Copies of this chain bind each other. A is one copy, B any other.
């Protein structure tokens, strides 16, 4: 690499900010970015990221899948494909969704570069600057980032241990509309929500669908974790009950491999053309190489058993984390008890600022994501998200113990400060 010059660091042109689009003002590096850089150091137990654990994936099998794909069908796999996605994979996606009660036609499926791209495209189609998007409080940081980039105004709707509260949704719709604002959709993650890990029960799903249908608000159902229930199967997807008002987002990132970047949207027929056109303008077409790898894997490998292996692997880690929390966290802390997925959500006493605590946690060799990252409105300062998906159970114990120590020390410090 001898030809590479040292980086030519010039200052920005003086009037650069005025040359950007208005939306670019919001494109600022987040605080989490720096955190993840630190959290990836080997000496740190990272309870921060949501990286799937690939140790249950047999690499010999995956290697043989891709090897066979190129040898038997290389000229298709390495060529441009359809903007909507590979036809055979779209059929297989319908089979996968059938596991959660969805009856869908491949013609209504649009394959995307991870479900993040589906979120981006849905935002592109619906959001004018200032439009309101309703989201759970708290919600997925990547969705908040996308809505922000389309200059949406995010209105959070309260949750409890059973997910989004229907009455809070009614109130939010009423208040938002009374203020003369346009609501474009409700975005929610009904299964093992990111960041809280909670599950929306069937009766609430029905009630929320009824509210949104009546109020003419699309429901964007983001479901990356639906097949990762540890204790019992998840309820049917919301899309299973309403094919006209639900935009469903799925992903292979958590059930096969995130590095392939294959997700999808299942949309009402009236939205499909716009979604495909938006996607073509964004990336021309999703990767045939990735799509056909997944397609051949689904066709030839025992993928249901593989998902069961993932569930077993994550369940052990979930149990380790819950046990470690019981052992090491202070009595004044509470946390969710997820039945699946990747995350536990922790409430600390309100005087604790979890963002200010990050440096102390890093010194104690543990990382987490502070709660404010999951709100558009600055809430969450005494909350935090813990991921149990990636480290070994032993490392989880070690990390939770270290973090519990940091928190207890902080509580003591504060109470002794008060006494003095």
Known pairs A27-B125, A60-B71, A125-B24; A9 contacts B283 (CB<8 A): no
Does A391 sit within 8 A of B, measured CB to CB? no
Q: Which of B10, B98, B113, B282 contacts A3 (CB 8 A)?
A: B98
A19 at the interface (CB under 8 A from B): yes
Copy number in this complex? 2
Please, which residues of chain B bring their CB within 8 A of the CB of A253? Answer: 80
Q: Does A63 contact B (CB under 8 A)?
A: yes
Do A70 and B66 have beta carbons less than 8 Å apart?
A: yes
Let me know if A415 is at the binding interface, CB within 8 A.
no
Main secondary structure of the interface of A (DSSP, over half): helix
Tell which of B3, B126, B284 touches A19, judged by Cβ atoms closer than 8 Å: B126
User: In the complex, are the beta carbons of A59 and B79 less than 8 A apart?
Assistant: no
Chain B interface: which of A267-275, A348-356, A366-374, A404-412? Answer: A267-275
Within the complex, which residue of B74, B125, B277 is in contact with A21, where a contact is CB–CB below 8 Å?
B125
Q: Among the listed B19, B68, B270, which residue makes an inter-chain contact with A216, where contact means beta carbons less than 8 Å apart?
A: B19
Stretch from A50-58, A160-168, A315-323, A393-401 at the B interface: A50-58
**Interface stretch of the complex, out of A169-177, A195-203, A287-295, A377-385:** A287-295
B78 touches A74 (CB 8 A): no
Stretch at the interface among A227-235, A254-262, A302-310, A335-343: A254-262
B66 near A6 with CB under 8 A, answer: no
A9 CA / B107 CA spacing, docked (Å) = 11
Is A77 within 8 A of B259, CB to CB?
yes
Q: Is the CB of B103 within 8 A of A5?
A: yes
Interface centre among A1, A11, A142, A293 (most CB of B within 10 A): A1
Question: Across the interface, which residues of B come within 8 angstroms of A244, CB to CB?
Answer: 10, 13
**Closest B residue, CB atoms, query A26:** B277
| A4 and B287 contact, CB distance less than 8 A | no
Known: A19-B184, A284-B142. A54 touches B27 (CB 8 A): no
Let me know if B107 and A7 touch, CB within 8 A. Answer: yes
Interface size of A by Cβ–Cβ distance < 8 Å? 104
Alpha-carbon distance A273/B28, docked complex (angstroms):
8
Residues B283 and A3 in contact, CB atoms below 8 Å apart: no
A206 interface hit (Cβ, 8 Å): no
Nearest chain B CB to A301 CB, angstrom units: 14
When the two chains form their complex, are residues B78 and A54 in contact, meaning their CB atoms are under 8 A apart?
yes
Interface mask (A109-151 → B, CB under 8 Å = 1, otherwise 0): 0000110110010001111100100000000001001101110
Interface of A with B (CB < 8 Å)? 1, 3-13, 15-16, 19-24, 27-29, 51-52, 54-55, 57, 59-60, 62-64, 66-68, 70-71, 74-81, 91-92, 94-95, 98, 103-108, 113-114, 116-117, 120, 124-128, 131, 142, 145-146, 148-150, 184, 216, 218, 243-244, 253, 257-261, 268-270, 273-274, 277-278, 280-290, 293
Closest 3 CB pairs of A and B: A12-B270, A78-B257, A7-B105
Offer 21 A-B interface pairs, CB within 8 angstroms, sorted by A.
A3-B95, A4-B105, A6-B105, A8-B243, A10-B268, A11-B270, A13-B270, A27-B274, A27-B277, A27-B278, A55-B75, A64-B67, A78-B257, A117-B283, A142-B280, A145-B277, A145-B281, A259-B287, A261-B286, A261-B287, A261-B289
